Chain A
Amino acid sequence: MHGWTGSILIADLTTRTQGVLHPSEETFRLFPGGRSLAGHLLRPRVGLPWNHPDMPVIFMTGSLTGTAAPCSGRCHVASRSPLTGAPGDASTGGNLGPALKAAGWDGLMLTGASDALLGLEITSDGVRFVEAGALRGADTEAVFTALPGWDSVACVGPAAENGVLSASIVVDRLHAAERCGLGLCLATKGCKFLAVSGERPMSVADPGGLAAANHDILRLFNASPALRGPLGFHRFGTAALCDLTAARSMMPTDNFRHTRFEQAGGCNAPALAARLLPASAPCPSCPVGCVQRTGDGRLLPGFDALSHFTALIRNPDPVLAVEAVNLCARLGLDPVSAAVSLASFAEITGRALGPERLLGLLEDTALGRGDGRLLGRGARRLAEELGKPDAAMTIKGLEIPACDPRGAYGLALAYAVSTRGACHQRALPLAHELLRKPVATDRFSFLGKARIIKLAEDQMAAADSLPACAPAFLAAGLEEYARAFTAVTGLSVAAGDLALAGERCVYQERLMLAELGFTAQDDDLPERFFREPGDQGEDFEVPPLDREEFLAARARYYRVRGLDDNGLPRRDTAEALGLAWTAS
């Protein structure tokens, strides 16, 4: 095979043994990699408790990983989320995916659990289990410093070791699998880090065809105002989006009680750039470089983190947001979940978050001290335990990122039906509702949005399975990436074939959700969005969402997706997509 190595490394932390899984070519055809293949491997075990030793933690690359296909340097991580109870997954940049592939592995599946803290050294020879007790409690920076010379290092920080439900996995200092608490999954297995190196060259079926496809993709990137324009991600990172959500009155402020932040202009990406002189820190094969760092190596916050560590908690100092984000990276916290939990806490307790208190609470969260113990349980549990469940701005238990759904109705629907919980990348509605790509849609209308969201979910699931980074799809599409996939694998594939693989991936997640007891009741938004208006825009109102219209759009989505009226999978749809009806 070209594109895949055909081998998935299995590491059992209980027995400290290893094995190799060789999926069939048919499996790779149905589940081409990344999110879809990780989901396929997760499904038979998804009914187990998240912390059961047999619950795997899966790292998965795809056929494009390690090639020159633009934005393909990704790795998908999946397990059952301790935060949400649902299947949890997150994509990370950095060199982890390319390094795994260069070591000869399409993926890595961790099973079992070790009482002792271990590190996993992964090469083309397989895995070596090494004692990591000396790194117990160490922050991620200390881990990276202790492990020089590896092509990639992924690790957990003290947050995961101390049981924070939203703990992240930090990769190569500047990147992370942030969402869904996968860091805690790794720590529960007794794994502190993965260190990966490899030298195997990637096998590409048609190098000339790949070069031609890449050329067309790069041309589209260059024509994209969002990716390569003078105000775009290439220059300012994804934080460039903050000015847009501020102008559209959809910047979550004060724990989503407002949608405009008066100090937004002083907290934007250009303000940060003027003070901190950022440089791009691109992932392998990425011509965009949306991850930015300062000259002294500090990570600059992306869109969600900058917005949430300023507007959401009413902090007018963007440099404090930089400190908070870097603290999160060192402690192994998901900045979105951490910020939303803090904002909920501030709302419920009525106590503002000054600079010292903010940084102190983040540290307390990761170390399990004082109020941090409650914050580490996430916004939903925190709000329930404090008797104010309405103050939890979560969907399926996952904290909501930095776009207010009252300002974009496709986003509202996408948030609600997203299989992993609140996420604006699962269907990328910001593309058409804010960025006007491929064309603009009316952001204050549900008209046509059910199908638009379903199709975009399929596209983004396909992207996560190639893999290719979500922002790439603000410019290119599956048409162009199908050509890259065909050139790499030698398999003639059309955009429609990739979309079908994406549809299968999403439906597989729907099957897992149903097996875990999730229903339409979970495909919903916090009541606040239906009850309270957003702040008035320059020349427009932001009314509360109309619940009847929302429910009607969700019902249409269920029909388009081939689900029943309760949002549950149908046997005929599952089988038509080549999916087993039962997990066993």
Chain B
Amino acid sequence: MDRILKSFAARLAAAGLAGPGDALFLGQDDAVACNEPGHPDRDVAEAALRALQASALVCVRPAEPYRTILDFLLTRHPEIITPGDCETRLFLHDLPVARDFSAEAMTGALRRRKGVILPGPRLAAPGSVGPEQAFVTVSSMCFAAFVLFFEEYLDDLRHGRTTPEQREAFARAVSHLPGARADRPALARGPFQDAAQARRAMLEAGRATVAFGLVDSYFGNISCKLGGVVHISQTGSSLDELAGCIDACPLDGSSCAGLTASSELAAHAGIYAADPTAACILHGHPRFAVILSLDCDLPDCPNRGRCHLDCPRPRRAGGAPVVPGEVGTGPRGLCHTLPPALASERAAIVLGHGLFATGRTDFNEAFAHLADTENACREEYFRRVRDLGG
């Protein structure tokens, strides 16, 4: 148990979400284990873990820029934070805030919700099936807060609502952003001759996508079409650890063995059908592509609040089309909206969600579109900020 707890703390650090020693992971089967026995938050967190009877609990003091971002958001939204990104909308619903850092406050919030923001700022989340579940929640909370903070700043600039505190927080957060990367990895060259070669290329591309920070932590999905079979990452798998986590899904539907495939399998299959030249697909959650997809300057739009479902306005960000669509296969699922957009484009952004890019022979082209689009979105974001006087 100790080894597993430490590995998830290391993952938070690797993702830039927490500094060394700032992520406290507790786990219990019939006895409590902890990755940082001397951590000052341990007593509170352990009391909450015991009260919740959960399998695991994480309590993390996030690293910059998340610390600055959360500090500011807590001043503006002291009760509850409601980001508009897809992950929050789907899994977290919103981000509840507790008034004080105590076992009672933590327990009270986490008896109702998947995660909570506490003074410090701290993020806490339990897991009923182990520490990974807690890790996923706090990681998604960080991503959601990041997107909301930058999205709100641009919108507030546009409407002349920024405050000195907000501008100061923005400058500090920006100062902690890693620079955009212009280099590109040399990934395996296609076309791939067999499934083993394709899968090795997927592992390599997945690792590169995480290393370049083009995902929220390690979430995303990736696929490669070979003959009549789509090889696709499994649902909930780590893009940087895909060994043993790729499903082979025959496009003729002759097997359900891909039941564990990514929740975007239908979208991937639809993209391959819409663009017969596509041989591989890479999907990440690059931050500025997501932020820019949510930025809208239409006042009084009748679809406000429903943009992710109904935005009828043709829009582009970073050179890529922006389409609405929810995760999965519902009537407004991105499996319906994304394939038409990628029939004649190599990259498209799903509003509030992330970016899908395709390659015709291997992942070099898909990766380049993913990274180039994100860099273009980042440039465009800061250009808009500058144009608005921010």
Contacts and interface: CB of A to CB of B under 8 A. Distances in A.
Interface of A: 216, 218-226, 228-232, 236, 240-244, 246-247, 265, 268-271, 432, 434-441, 447-452, 455-456, 459, 479, 482, 494-497, 556, 559-560
A452 B253 CA distance: 34
A231 B259 contact: yes
B122 to A, nearest CB: 20
A450 B326 CA distance: 36
Contacts of A230: 253, 265-266, 269, 329
A494 B133 contact: no
Interface stretch (B27-35, B76-84, B155-163, B174-182): B27-35
Given A228-B328, A231-B249, A560 B255 contact: no
Given A225-B265, A247-B257, A440-B236, 19 more contacts: A219-B330, A222-B330, A228-B329, A228-B330, A229-B259, A229-B265, A230-B253, A230-B265, A230-B266, A240-B256, A244-B259, A437-B236, A438-B133, A439-B136, A440-B132, A450-B29, A451-B28, A455-B53, A496-B112
A61 B234 CA distance: 37
Contacts of A496: 52, 110-112
14 contacts: A222-B326, A229-B263, A230-B329, A232-B256, A240-B259, A242-B256, A270-B256, A437-B236, A439-B129, A447-B29, A450-B30, A452-B55, A455-B54, A494-B112
A437 B235 contact: yes
A495 B111 contact: yes
B229 to A, nearest CB: 13
A269 B258 CA distance: 13
B103 interface: no
B262 to A, nearest CB: 7
B270 to A, nearest CB: 10
Nearest to B248: A247
B301 interface: no
Nearest to A561: B30
A432 B330 contact: no
A16 to B, nearest CB: 48
B90 interface: yes
A456 B128 CA distance: 8
A346 to B, nearest CB: 27
B376 interface: no
A118 to B, nearest CB: 44
A214 B298 CA distance: 30
A246 B259 CA distance: 12
Contacts of A226: 259
Nearest to A269: B256
Most chain A CB inside 10 Å of its own CB: which residue of B29, B89, B111, B129: B129
Given A455-B54, A496-B111, A223 B259 contact: no
Given A223-B90, A229-B261, A450-B30, A482 B112 contact: yes
A222 B328 contact: yes
A432 B259 CA distance: 13
Interface string B241-276: 000000001000111111111110110010000000
A441 B129 contact: yes
B327 interface: yes
B281 to A, nearest CB: 15
Nearest to B113: A479
Given A452-B130, A496-B52, A436 B235 contact: yes
B1 interface: yes
B225 interface: no
B112 to A, nearest CB: 4
B327 A223 contact: yes
A224 B328 contact: yes
B93 interface: yes
A448 B127 CA distance: 11
Contact of B259 (A435, A448, A559): A435
Contacts of A452: 55, 128-130
A494 B328 contact: no
Nearest to B244: A539
Given A225-B263, A435-B259, A447 B1 contact: yes
A479 B52 CA distance: 14
A187 B147 CA distance: 62
A482 B111 CA distance: 11
Contact of A223 (B28, B55, B93, B326): B326
Nearest to B91: A220
B114 interface: yes
Contacts of B236: 436-440
B16 interface: no
Bin chain B's interface residue count: 35 or more
Contact of B260 (A244, A556, A560): A244
Interface of B: 1, 4, 27-30, 52-55, 89-91, 93, 110-114, 127-130, 132-133, 136, 234-237, 249, 253-263, 265-266, 269, 326-330, 333
A228 B263 CA distance: 9
B330 A218 contact: yes
Contacts, number: 161
Contacts of A231: 249, 253, 255-256, 258-259, 261, 265
A229 B258 CA distance: 10
Contacts of B237: 436, 440
Contacts of B111: 494-497
A18 to B, nearest CB: 41
Contacts of A456: 128-129
Contact of B55 (A228, A451, A559): A451
Given A451-B55, A452-B128, A229 B29 contact: no
Contacts of B54: 455
A244 B258 CA distance: 8
B112 A479 contact: yes
A434 B114 CA distance: 22
A479 B326 contact: no
B29 A451 contact: yes
Most chain B CB inside 10 Å of its own CB: which residue of A218, A220, A223: A223
B186 to A, nearest CB: 29
Contacts of A450: 29-30
A448 B326 contact: no
The list of the 10 closest CB pairs from A to B, nearest first, reads A496-B111, A222-B330, A223-B328, A240-B256, A222-B328, A494-B112, A556-B30, A223-B327, A243-B256, A243-B257
A216 B111 CA distance: 18
Contacts of A448: 1, 27, 29, 55, 129-130
A441 B249 CA distance: 22
Contacts of B132: 439-440
B259 A222 contact: no
B235 A225 contact: yes
Contacts of A440: 132, 234, 236-237
Contact of B30 (A216, A432, A437, A451): A451
Contacts of B1: 447-448
A225 B259 contact: yes
A220 B90 contact: yes
A435 B260 contact: yes
A240 B254 CA distance: 11
Contacts of B28: 451
B255 A455 contact: no
Given A228-B330, A451-B29, A496-B112, A243 B265 contact: no
Contacts of B329: 222, 228-230
Contact of B234 (A218, A232, A436): A436
A494 B237 CA distance: 30
Contacts of B269: 230
Given A223-B328, A229-B328, A434 B260 contact: yes
A45 B332 CA distance: 51
Contacts of A246: 257
Contacts of A479: 112-114
A221 B269 CA distance: 19
A437 B259 CA distance: 12
Contacts of B327: 219, 222-223
B253 A219 contact: no
Contacts of B136: 438-439
